[in-house]
Structure 1
């Protein structure tokens, strides 16, 4: 039987390495969503921290270990949120951080990376091209390459969200998790299946960036030539084999949702919950909108994983979005 790379004891220990600013984020039943969605929805609000995403849970663990081992520098590729988180965590530990990103990434995310003191290098391509460039820098400069989802610390840092979910009362029937590189889904999924095995773990990805979902369905790595989604935070083309192996052990389902549903989910979170979220954070609501019968009468938790949006783009999306499903 395939063994996972994740370890529940290490995940519990990871909480001690993470700044409390990023722990115990709000979790609450959002009653205003129920009339439109037909089910009880609890929100795990991972935007309520200084970098406005869950990523710092992982980078706190990574940089804590690097600093303890005497490392002074690290580099990563990022669609925006990991770069902000690594810049924050590295700054607090005196590390020299370089972030490689697509020049087409949301400007707000790039500006925040610079503001946090990290070096920023832009490439004329997508996230996977940035990943290749970051690997080149690490090799040539002899510094640590931080690879989201591949580095187990990023998965186990994200998994601390799962500890907070399973400690909640009452328990949930299902947890909806955004699926991109896989750190969040494998981390949360591992804890949920270890400690609350009756809870369904459902991963959600945009139809325009389906590589990891297709890989999960076919039980082998499936790559795509391109992506076409506003959910830049989950828009990878090349799944990591080791991460897919972990995901196969914990995900009960992986679903793809349309762009119009993502936008409708963002609009609903604004109108009903007062939350400004990035597209990736609305994937859970989008999944409910597209399959209300599946979730009818159930209690589901959705992880609102990021709130770093380009304001101009956000206004365009929300202004054009219907409140209900398209």
Structure 2
């Protein structure tokens, strides 16, 4: 697609670099969900891999490039999933991986990062504070800083999901994509709009963390002072201008959804699909619940993007 930072030939080449264990994730129509949602729903299950999220598609590209160039270390800031994915990809290539995360990040995500032999540094504050600290570490140590969504590898790795959708799915009308920093939304959006331009690309973000969605609607960077959502994986406050530029070219809409709808989506995925997911992964279902008339009678694909969730918190949410 002209104008974006992404390139279809690089995205296609990425599939030769990414460990096959992260490719060709299950895609299936989930008829059990349809009576509650009023439309045909297909699920792209990005949790069926060792790090239980889509993020490794991008970190596989980053780690491969670093290893090929003889680099020995890398650092990132993460709400949990990127750090886990970078730790997995880096460990397999002999990289020294440092992950900076907020002390308030879900314990389950932090435990998995440690289990994958990464160096974990916790900071007070949120993901924006973690990004500042990771950048400082990169400068001090002279090592690569992986910046999710800004680094093109994170977007083009995620874009391979879009290639798989257009190659494997029967005809579908719309794809619902969780929107945080924008790597998955811009990546999948680019691939889908290039291969299937008639498909509607709809991004979904929580009302409690609306910065990127507001930026899309206003066509300029809009920042927020605070975050109030259980969907920690998409809870950024400072959109990246270059990522917003890409999103404006590939997204047809950006929807904000309530916390109650996110929880209802998690509950439906458990009851009707047997899936335990983190809140970010239920954003697509939440969007359908809040916009039934818009999706009625259509075939919608939603990307279930992560399942790294604190068990106690999950039980509290779905038991309401």
**Partner Cα separation in structure 2 for residue 97 and residue 26 of structure 1:** 29
**Alignment RMSD:** 0.8
Provide the C-alpha distance between the structure 1 equivalents of 2:10 and 2:40, rounded to a whole number of angstroms.
Answer: 32
Show the 5 A alignment for 1:1-326: 3-320=3-320
How far off is 1:168 after superposition?
A: 2.0
Task: Specify the SS of the correspondent of 2:15.
Answer: helix
Runs (4 or more) in structure 1 with deviation over 4 Å come to: none
TM-aligned CA deviation for residue 306 of structure 1: 0.0
Q: Secondary structure at the match of 1:17?
A: coil
Displacement after TM superposition at 1:105 (Å): 0.2
Number of matched residues?
320
1:3 Cα deviation from its structure 2 partner: 1.7
Q: Structure 2, unaligned stretches of length 5 or more?
A: none
CA distance in structure 2 between the aligned counterparts of 1:204 and 1:169, rounded to whole angstroms = 21
Q: Is the 8 A contact 2:27 2:169 kept in 1?
A: no
CA–CA distance in structure 2, aligned partners of residues 295 and 133 of structure 1: 42
**TM-score, reference length from structure 1:** 0.97
Deviation of the 1:171 alpha carbon:
1.7
Tell me, in whole angstroms, the C-alpha distance in 2 between the residues paired with 1:245 and 1:149. Answer: 12
Cα distance change, pair 92–250 in 1 and its aligned pair in 2 (3 A)? same
* Structure 1: runs of 5 or more not aligned: 321-326
Quick one: distance in 1 between partners of 2:105 and 2:117?
18
Q: Report how far residue 235 of structure 1 moved.
A: 0.1
- Give TM-score scaled by structure 2 length: 0.99
Query: Alpha-carbon deviation of 1:244?
Result: 0.3
* Superposed CA offset, 1:87-140 (max 9, x none): 000000000000000000000000000000000000000000000000000001
How many Å apart are 1:169 and its aligned residue?
3.7
Please state how far the C-alpha of 1:170 moved relative to its aligned partner. Answer: 1.3
Partner of 1:324: none
Structure 1: how far apart are the matches of 2:178 and 2:104? 21
* Aligned equivalents of 2:39, 2:4: Cα separation in 1: 32
C-alpha distance in 2 between matches for 1:252 and 1:167: 21
**Counterpart Cα distance in 2 of 1:3 and 1:304:** 28
Q: Deviations over 1:201-258 (max 9, x none)?
A: 0000000000000000000000000000000000000000000000000000000000
